[in-house]
Structure 1
Amino acid sequence: ALGWCLVQLTLNAAFAAITAAVPDRVPQRQRGAVGGWVGAAQILGVVAGTGLATVAGGVVAGYLACAGFVVLGALPYVLAHRDPALPAARRPALTWRAVLAGFWISPRRHPDLGWAWLTRFLINLGNALALLYLLYYLRDVLHRPDPDSGVLVLTAVNAVTLLGTVVVGGLWSDRVGRRQPFVLGAGVIMTAATGLLAGWQTWPGALCAAALLGVGFGVFTSVDFALMTEVLPAAAHRGKDMGLINIANALPQVAAPALAAPIVQHLGGYRALYCVAAAVGLLGALLVRRIRGVA
């Protein structure tokens, strides 16, 4: 548990720092494409890590390889990239009070950031609810003889369609100069996919749902990343603000099990779970229309 907490602490800190470099160094018209490559790297990392743990020598060898990749992946950026240094006189004093105050950004003063954060949180929560219990859905509802292999197949289908749209969606958004329609459309596609899991409870239905979830989440991942960089309140706080935005990715992974378990056990089972996931994702997609400063 201690090791996992340290992994989360350090990798999320690194992720916040590297993503803060995007609004610092990348022109606004190219951020969708960059967001697509960031999203593709995350998905490839998950696939490669799973392969290392399951195929290439087991869990111990997999974790050792992941540790090596963390160092090797960071070195090119650290050694070859030079951040412009902020003069010492312009650096704000670092105090505990300032650090604690940084965990709050007033949604009243910065409503666009507040709505964008809530959009990301809800769509990620809907996606997490949809994926969390796939193993038990295949076992208990579809009665698959080998649910573990079924999850692997669905994960592969999801990854392929996600990788097929994550960069294309970002490039397309850059080309037309708009973000909201893509986030809204991606959320609607993901809602439809989750609805399939509730209404078409067959193996072909699960395959179609996995493919659609990949399409929707791929577009959402790249375009929402670009949108987030365009609603940041101030250039001086981008690293801290991107860290807070990353909470909207991590928190749904914690909240989803707490919400899903009572729904499956007491409030209608898997059909109700996927209906709730669809409703949550759709609400998040619709809330993107509340953002005024980004088209």
Structure 2
Amino acid sequence: MKENKPNADGTWSASTTNAQQPKTPVYIGIAVGLGALLWLAPFMGLNSVLNPQKLANIFGGPGSQVNNFLALLGTLGAVTLTITTIIIGALSDLTRSRWGRRTPWIVVGSVLTAAVMVGLGMVNNKSQLPIFIVLWCLIQTFINMIVAPLIAVIADRVAPAHRGTISSIYAIGYVIGQYGGPVIGGRFLSTANPGLVNTGYYVLAIMMLISGPVAAMIMHEKSSLGMPKQRLDWNGFVQAFIFPIHHVRNFYLALFDKMMINIAVTAFGTYQVFVLTSGMGLASSEAGQYISYMGTATMITAIIFSSTAGGVSDKIRTRKWPVAFSAVLTAIGTILPFVFRVPGSMIWYGIVAGTGAGIFFSVDQALNLEVLPNPENSAKDLGILNFANTGAQILAPVLGAILFDMVGKQYMPILLILSIIALVGALLVLCIKEDRAKIGGRDAE
């Protein structure tokens, strides 16, 4: 099987054609799926559960101080993320090494991110909060060394005919990480032993540490030393580092629809502890149990639908309609706890939103690959699109803090607004113009 090898005329290609890859490269799917699981689960465990609880322990309970600090983290992290997403993705595209373009970044990024997570776990009082801020910004930088190159592997080494299948395998790992991370994090919440939160940081750091090496060993990327080096004159610089500006309508619609949907999901995750405690009156230990139940329900339904949605979208030859439907399910699931206001409604959120998440993570990734303006810069452009994922995880606390003050310092009404935001995402994705003839491996060689 040939992939990223010289063409017949001796030139190199940054992508793989259907003719070069007649069989589905399942091992690539396993590599990116496991890689996604092992970086996202630790990040979500921190962002959704451990960070809010650690800050609540430091400040003496949930409330405005915690929300404002989370908003500060979000603002500074967003600035860091915006800069590093483009730079790291572009540098990955330009990398020439015996281990390929992506592997060096993925491995080094996992090691550095794990080290910073250990440092976060060691912050325990107000005087150390400036250190917490610096470490959080470093996490945004180092985790981008994993995310953008890992996704770019699909664009590099998977032919269009197989991208739906590989995206589904990737989505399974992503879904388990997205919802399994808070389940793991919830196990380290204890009213009787607040210090257990720190142990959670160290456990999740181990998962992060092995994410890069595991993915690298399975995918076994070829050397990129033979690829021509891109000249960094002005035109080369613009192509390598600047946001794309040609043939980008679908690209930016995909970016912002993804941003809206992920803000709704991430903000819900960020405040789920406080919805259960301040909103529904549960103790921290009881809230941790319900978070585990909800995460399990979400993960099961999401795995079921993420494993099938990519193939279904190939057969019906559309990406945008399944993604829009997933956004509607997210909106319905988000509003259920607002309407019923009992802990059991959080489990129903897990079932309904989990179904939407499974469809979204599978089909949206295939959609992203199809809206790329230039395969030569796939890591940079996918890194920009991934800002809708990681950026939402950073920006959601900022929005949450604003909404918390707007609705009278209550958590429950925030859910109604998040539901509306998810519906906006559905409308944006429906504005994308699809070339349905190219979906499902029908594109021209």
User: Normalized against structure 1, the TM-score is what?
Assistant: 0.86
Distance 1:291 1:86 in 2: 37
Deviations 1:128-180 (A, max 9, x none): 12222111111122223421222222122212211121121112112322111
Q: How much does 1:202 deviate?
A: 1.7
Match of 1:150 among 270, 285, 290: 290
| AA of the residue aligned to 2:427 | L
Distance 1:221 1:123 in 2: 11
Distance 2:339 2:182 in 1: 33
CA contact (8 A) 1:144 1:150 kept: no
Q: How much does 1:291 deviate?
A: 0.9
Map 1:135-214 onto structure 2 (within 5 A): 135-145=273-283, 146-214=286-354
Larger deviation: 113-122 or 48-57? 48-57
Match of 1:17 among 137, 149, 160: 149
Q: Which residue of 2 aligns with 1:281?
A: 422
Distance 2:172 2:385 in 1: 19
Greater relative contact order (Cα < 8 A, sep 6+): 1
Larger deviation: 44-53 or 171-180? 44-53
The question of 1:293 aligning with 2:434 is answered yes
Distance 2:231 2:340 in 1: 56
Deviations 1:75-108 (A, max 9, x none): 3146x332666642x62327899279724223x7
Q: Which residue of 2 aligns with 1:134?
A: 272
Match of 2:260 among 95, 111, 122: 122
Q: How much does 1:49 deviate?
A: 9.0
CA contact (8 A) 1:122 1:280 kept: yes
| AA of the residue aligned to 2:274 | Y
Unaligned runs of 5+ in 2: 1-131, 189-195, 437-445
Q: Which residue of 2 aligns with 1:38?
A: 170
With over 3 angstroms needed to count, the CA separation of the structure-2 counterparts of 1:75 and 1:232, relative to structure 1, is closer
Distance 1:163 1:94 in 2: 46
| AA of the residue aligned to 1:274 | L
SS of the aligned residue for 2:411 comes to: helix
CA contact (8 A) 1:191 1:282 kept: yes
Q: How much does 1:264 deviate?
A: 2.4
Q: Which residue of 1 aligns with 2:113?
A: none
With over 3 angstroms needed to count, the CA separation of the structure-2 counterparts of 1:53 and 1:261, relative to structure 1, is closer
Distance 1:163 1:87 in 2: 37
Unaligned runs of 5+ in 1: none
Equivalent residue pairs, number:
292
| AA of the residue aligned to 2:433 | R
Distance 2:333 2:272 in 1: 13
SS of the aligned residue for 1:133 comes to: helix
The question of 1:81 aligning with 2:213 is answered no
Larger deviation: 96-105 or 208-217? 96-105
User: What's the % identity of the aligned pairs?
Assistant: 22
Q: Which residue of 2 aligns with 1:237?
A: 377
Distance 1:169 1:277 in 2: 24
Larger deviation: 32-41 or 274-283? 32-41
Larger deviation: 238-247 or 167-176? 167-176
